[in-house]
Amino acid sequence: MQLNGARIVLTGASGGLGSVLADRLAAAGAALLLTGRDPAALARINLPASCEYQLLQADLGTTAGIAATVAATQNFRANILINNAGIGGFGLLAEQDWSDVERILATNLAAPLRLTQALLPWLTQQPAAAVVNVGSTFGSIPFAGFAAYSAAKAGLHGFSQALRRELADSTVRIIHIAPRAIDTPINSAAARALNKALGSATDTPETVAEHIVATLRDNTPESHIGFPEKLFAWLNGFAPSLVDRGLRGKLAQIKQHAAKA
């Protein structure tokens, strides 16, 4: 998809990945409507004067936030939505407060689904449009210690595939991108310690942002970031019991670090 001249709504724009992604999209020539919940964090965004951009403070977990984003999207004449906003969720399910579980599901699954649904009447009228859902490797390789988070990201992956098939006769492309761990504040100290203990690879926000831009430009419908994560995602779909056995050996370490979450 042509990014020079594209008009993009980016949620979670003030976060660790979102702010870097905004820079990369601006460099590609896109105009940006940048949304986030924290007005102070949004105000710190400083893109080049050559980039057309607007800031919108909105909580996508509320009806008012969705309505404000839809209205702003139409006024901005956007043709691409990037559902990037999300939160982490490391911890054993039995020990998590239900309010935290609800927040994980609402932010990572319900909000992007609701916003996409609300914007579809607008996007389907555009000559060329796209919805990009930023998921996670854990949506394809559900991981112990991340039950609610994995459920939300697996749901986002399924939503992306189903909607792509639903809109196959439209001008709207649906793209799902699954990064592995990213070195941003979305990871708690306990999650970062677990990644280090397990030797799990962590990508920089710059690496992931560049991958997202390339995937959108190439119009690739499905993309996993990192190896061996791509292999494990395929293996989990083909023979999940093999992944079960592989992760069982890591369970003691996961529980040890989850106790500190």
Provide the token pair at 138: 């854990």
Q: How far apart are CA 125 and CA 131, in angstroms?
A: 14
pTM of the model: 0.89
Give the whole-number percent of the chain exceeding pLDDT 70: 90
Contact 215, 223 (CB under 8 A): yes
Stretch 155-183: mean pLDDT: 95
Q: Are 31 and 8 in contact (CB under 8 A)?
A: yes
Q: What CA–CA distance (Å, rounded) separates 72 from 54? A: 9
Rounded to 10°, the helix 98-105/147-166 angle is: 20
Query: Would you say residue 258 has pLDDT above 90?
Result: no
- Has residue 253 got a pLDDT over 90? no
CB-facing half-sphere around the CA of 13: CA atoms within 13 A = 31
> Quick check: 104 pLDDT over 70?
yes
What is the C-alpha to C-alpha distance for residues 90 and 73, in angstroms, rounded to an integer?
33
CB half-sphere exposure, 58, CA atoms < 13 A: 27
Who has greater pLDDT, 40 or 233? Answer: 40
Confidence of residue 20 (pLDDT cuts 50, 70, 90): very high
pLDDT digits (tens, 9 = 90+) for 177-210: 999 889 888 888 888 888 788 777 889 999 999 9
pLDDT digit string, tens, across residues 29-61: 999 999 999 999 999 999 998 999 999 999 999
Q: What is the pLDDT of the chain when averaged over all its residues?
A: 90
Identity at 207, one-letter amino acid code: T
Closest of 237, 95, 90 to residue 157, by C-alpha: 237
Which residues, other chains included, contact 230 with Cβ-Cβ below 8 Å and sequence gap of 6+?
224
**Domain range annotation of the chain:** 7-258
Cβ(144)–Cβ(254) under 8 Å? yes
User: Is 80 exceeded by the pLDDT of residue 67?
Assistant: yes
Q: For 30, list phi and psi in degrees, rounded to 5.
A: -85, 150
Task: Kindly indicate the confidence band of residue 174, based on its pLDDT and cuts at 50, 70 and 90.
Answer: very high
pLDDT higher than 60, residue 244: no
**Identity (one letter) of the amino acid at 114?**
R
**36 bridge partner residues:** 57
In this prediction, residue 115 carries a pLDDT of 98
- Please say whether the beta carbons of 95 and 149 come within 8 A: no
CA 5 to chain centre: 23
The amino acid at residue 153 is K
User: What distance in Å separates the CA atoms of residue 161 and residue 183, rounded to the nearest whole number?
Assistant: 27
Report pLDDT for 251. 64
Q: What is the DSSP letter of 34?
A: E
Among the ranges given (135-139, 140-144, 244-248, 255-259), the one the predictor scored with the smallest mean pLDDT: 244-248
Question: Do 109 and 148 form a contact (C-beta atoms < 8 A)?
Answer: no
Class of domain 7-258: alpha beta
Cα dihedral 209→213→214→218 (10° resolution)? 150
Q: What is the pLDDT of residue 246?
A: 66
Question: For residue 236, is pLDDT > 90?
Answer: no
Q: Which two tokens stand for residue 65?
A: 């936030």
